[in-house]
A and B are shown apart, each in its own frame.
Chain A
Amino acid sequence: MYEVKILTGNETAAYAAMNSKARVVAAYPITPVTPVVETISKLVEEGRMHAKFIRVESEHSAMAACIGASAAGSRAFTATSSHGLAYMHEMLHWATNARTPIVMAVANRAIGPGWNIWADLGDALSQRDTGWIQFYCSNNQEIYDTIAMAYKLAEDRKVLLPAMVCYDGFVLSHTSMPVELTEFDDFLSEYEPVWKLDAENPFTHGNILPPEDFAELRHNIQKSHDRALKLMKKIEEEFFELYGRRTPLILEEYKMEDAEKVIVTMGAIGSEAKVAVDSLREKKVKAGLVRLKSFRPFPEKELRNLLEDKKVYVFDRAISPGSGGPLYNELKSALAFSPVKRIIPKIVGIGGIDVTKRTFERAIFERKVWIKEVVS
């Protein structure tokens, strides 16, 4: 059973949390993710969403409360953006080492000053070393599906890692699209924790961990990421069989069969990149697209297989100052020993600059790395 609703990305995330049976939500508003918090509050107050909603006083506390709820055995959800995500930073690390499979929606936004509320993936990408699984979505249906799939993946015994489901602020968070609100009963049952805080069965969690044990924990987290990558394919298949939707977790290919020039990007501009590929092909350029969905774990092998012998244009909607585009850098190292013809960095859409199909075209035809205006 499902219904189709016209929903913004934020509303979609809230409905996804509800239908994924999140039982504790702790969240703090921040533009542009605020409507997720408002919608969940409404769904809970109306009795449609069966969950405890903790209206915390900060994002640091939001993540702390989610960690506590997850540790006590509940499926936990939160949502944030930008400064809120930065403020959570310490607790993001905590969630990973504590092995609490929380899922969080992130409406990507630039970090100030100056105040900039618009799309920029720099907020989430600067959390790439926290150990969270990171997905970047390119439309609202994908946000909906990915949140449920993220729980399935995160809670798997072989994984037990938190996951963030990212989508560009305003471009997706505030844009309405039809979304199939599938019920996930066949796909996702109530959370069954591997361990939980229980007065009947006391144990101490997170006390002093000597160096060898700490190294073991960190190694296990790395191995869990490797296992997550394998599980993603299985989950994609299971989801497709149940609901008939091919929602990628690792990556999406577009017109790659005979492609010579390949755009690699993430997030909402991945949708626009398809339009650009079509337009380039009209101009007799054999273009293709690899839209990366999972930035953590980083699917090195899959990307290497797809991009061998290609000329690769990496479009980053983020900048790691002093280094370059985060996706470009990761890809460059992944392809270091592959016979890739060339890998070319492009920085677009920073601080919410609109990225059009012509942005891609100009970036490919011109040499400059940065496109700092709307190309209409």
Chain B
Amino acid sequence: MKISEMEREEYVLPGNTSCHGCPSTVALRTVLKALEGNAVLVIPACCTSVYMGPFPNSAINVPVFNTAFASAAATASGIKASLEWQGKDTEVVVWAGDGGTYDIGLQALSGAAERGDDILFICYNNEMYSNTGIQRSGATPYGAWTTTTWKGKREHKKDVSELMLAHGIPYVATASVGYLRDLYEKVKRARKIRGFRYLEILAPCPPGWRFPMDKTIQMGKLAVESGMWILFESIEGKLRFTGVSKSIAEGRRKMKDLEEYLLSQGRFSHLTEEEIGEIRRYVIKKWEKLARLVEGEIDAAVAKFYV
């Protein structure tokens, strides 16, 4: 679809208190446009709790219910149950960071997913706890500097989108702030599906990742072009790569070198050759794993794209 066909109405208002170059505002703006404002947002502790602005003002022009860190999905379940009782078809959307999704919010997320509650859970993943000032999270990649991993994180991230696939829910997808039309279309498709839906958006954070604030969109693209972030969509269990990731998987596009992505960020600037190698191995494994899930759609081992 063309950008000109996107919803004109603005639901994330200018003058909010986000950092310059914030990926979350860009993503939320796109998501709410796709939902045409017919949504209730449930927001656990995260950057959005701050940038929506202090009472009595708000930068978000749909109903917002702020909830405690661990309980976003459960709060959404309660809201949905009430709206269903009232016969209202408003989309209940959880808008959570990776802390409220991967870590402290995981139990409630898994519970709501297993129950199949009719919720759209969106994780804007900036791969760290940014609201508290850049600490490692379960989504922080191996090697990344944070204020709780000064020499670089020693563990790889866990992958909650894969975990959601394992829950057997009707919709799981990844997106990136680098490709907003792709995000918009995914939200549109998710909206048409009933049940628990999970969407994870890579949100490159300039102050957290240590890159210039005018490079957010570019970083969102580079993450995908280098294979570090993989775009896919699973509808009713049928998984496919999308966008640039699809072109890469089908051999129509060569991956950019991972080093280009890593070394353009201050958080990775200290990495050694061995550490970059370790990340490379992780990324290859990830592609292979997902390629196996995309049964029959590609026939080559994805690893070969990594020469």
- Chain A interfacial positions (CB closer than 8 Å to B): 23-24, 26, 51-52, 54-58, 60-74, 76, 90-91, 94, 197-199, 201-210, 213
Tell me, in angstroms, the Cα distance from A66 to B63 when the chains sit together. 18
A72 CA to B42 CA, complexed, in Å: 11
Cα separation A68 to B38 with both chains bound (whole Å): 17
Contact A61 B85 (CB under 8 A): no
A56/B74 contact (C-beta < 8 A), A68-B79, A199-B39, A206-B66 known: yes
Q: Are A24 and B40 in contact (CB under 8 A)?
A: no
Q: Are B65 and A206 in contact (CB under 8 A)?
A: yes
- Contact of B77 with A65 in the complex, beta carbons under 8 Å: yes
Interchain CA distance A91-B66 in the complex, whole Å? 12
Given contact pairs A23-B85, A64-B70, A197-B65, a sample of 16 additional A-B residue pairs in the complex whose CB atoms are under 8 Å apart: A56-B115, A58-B107, A64-B71, A65-B75, A68-B80, A71-B82, A72-B78, A72-B79, A74-B81, A76-B82, A197-B40, A199-B38, A199-B39, A199-B90, A204-B52, A205-B66
B-side contacts of A64, CB under 8 Å = 67-68, 70-71, 74-75, 78, 108
Specify the chain A residue showing the minimal Cβ separation from B73: A61
Partner of A52, one of B42, B67, B81: B81
Q: Are A24 and B55 in contact (CB under 8 A)?
A: no
Give Cα A65–Cα B82 distance, bound, in whole angstroms.
10
Nearest-neighbour CB distance to chain B for A331, whole angstroms, equals 33
Min CB distance B86 to A, Å, is: 7
Tell which of B49, B73, B82, B84 touches A208, judged by Cβ atoms closer than 8 Å.
Answer: B49
Q: What are the nearest 5 A-B pairs in CB distance?
A: A68-B78, A57-B111, A61-B74, A65-B78, A64-B71
Q: Are B108 and A57 in contact (CB under 8 A)?
A: yes
Q: Can you list 15 A-B pairs with a CB-CB distance of less than 8 A?
A: A52-B84, A52-B85, A57-B111, A60-B71, A65-B78, A65-B81, A68-B75, A68-B81, A72-B79, A94-B68, A204-B60, A207-B54, A207-B55, A207-B58, A210-B54
- Beta-carbon contacts of B86-122 to A below 8 Å, as 1s and 0s? 1010100000000000000001101100110100000
Complexed CA–CA distance, A189 and B81 (Å): 20
By a CB distance below 8 angstroms, the chain A residues around B60 are 202, 204
How far, in whole Å, are A23 and B158 apart by their CA atoms in the complex? 38
Provide the residues of chain A in CB contact with B90, threshold 8 Å. Answer: 199
| Cα A275 to Cα B118 with chains together (Å) | 54
Closest-CB distance, A189 to chain B (whole angstroms):
16
Cα-based distance from A235 to B67 in the complex (angstroms): 32
User: From A217, which residue of chain B is reached at the shortest CB distance?
Assistant: B55
Q: B50 in the interface, Cβ–Cβ < 8 Å?
A: yes
| Neighbouring A residues of B79 by C-beta, 8 Å | 68-69, 71-72, 197
Determine if B110 and A198 form an interchain contact, defined as CB atoms under 8 angstroms apart. no
Within 8 Å of chain A (Cβ to Cβ): is B212? no
CB-nearest residue of chain B to A191: B82
Residues of B within 8 A of A63 (CB): 71
**By CB atoms of chain B within 10 A, which of A26, A72, A74, A197 has the most?**
A72
The 8 A CB mask of B154-191 against A (1 = contact, 0 = none) is 00000000000000000000000000000000000000
**Closest-CB distance, A148 to chain B (whole angstroms):** 20
Query: Once the chains bind, are B74 and A60 in contact (CB under 8 Å)?
Result: yes
Which residue of chain A lies nearest to B59 when distances are taken between CB atoms in the complex?
Answer: A204
Contacts A199-B63, A206-B66 given; does A61 touch B52 at CB 8 Å: no
Q: Is the CB of A54 within 8 A of B115?
A: yes
Query: A206 with B74: in contact, given A23-B85, A71-B79 (CB under 8 Å)?
Result: no
- Per a CB cutoff under 8 Å, which of B63, B70, B77, B117 touches A197? B63
Contacts A204-B58, A205-B64, A206-B66 known; A74 to B77 CB distance under 8 Å?
Answer: no
- Out of B54, B63, B78, B85, which one reaches A203, CB within 8 Å? B63
Chain A residue contacts of B115, Cβ below 8 A: 54-56
Please, which residues of chain A bring their CB within 8 A of the CB of B37?
A: 199, 202
Which chain B residues lie closer than 8 Å to A94 at the CB level?
Answer: 67-68
Q: How far is the CA of A15 from the CA of B201 in the complex (A)?
A: 45
Judge whether B144 is part of the interface by a CB distance below 8 angstroms.
no
Contact B81 A61 (CB under 8 A): no
- Would you call A198 and B42 a contact (CB within 8 A)? no
Is B298 an interface residue when CB atoms closer than 8 A count as contact?
no
A17 to B56 alpha-carbon distance, docked (Å): 35
Q: Is the Cβ of B82 less than 8 Å from the Cβ of A68? A: yes
Q: Which residues of chain A have C-beta atoms less than 8 A from B78's C-beta?
A: 24, 26, 54, 64-72, 76
- Chain B hits for A66, CB < 8 A: 78
Does B62 lie at the interface of the complex (its beta carbon under 8 Å from any beta carbon of A)?
yes
Chain B residues with Cβ below 8 Å from A207 are: 49, 52-55, 58, 64, 66
Nearest chain A CB to B2's CB is how many angstroms away? Answer: 27
B40 to chain A, nearest CB (A): 5
| Residues on the A chain within 8 Å of B50, using CB | 208
Please determine whether B86 and A73 come into contact, CB atoms closer than 8 angstroms.
yes
A residues within 8 A CB of B147?
none
Q: Does B76 contact A (CB under 8 A)?
A: yes
Q: Identify the closest chain A residue to B78 (Cβ).
A: A68
Q: How far is the CA of A206 from the CA of B54 in the complex (A)?
A: 9
Once the chains are docked, how many angstroms separate the CA of A67 from the CA of B79? 8
- Pick the most buried of B62, B73, B83: most chain A CB atoms within 10 A of its CB: B83
Cross-chain contact B71 with A61 (CB below 8 angstroms): yes
Q: Do residues A202 and B62 form an inter-chain contact, with CB atoms below 8 A? A: yes
Shortest distance between the CB of A164 and any CB in chain B (Å): 18
Q: Do the beta carbons of B63 and A56 come within 8 Å of each other? A: no
The yes or no answer to B61 lying at the interface (CB within 8 A) is yes
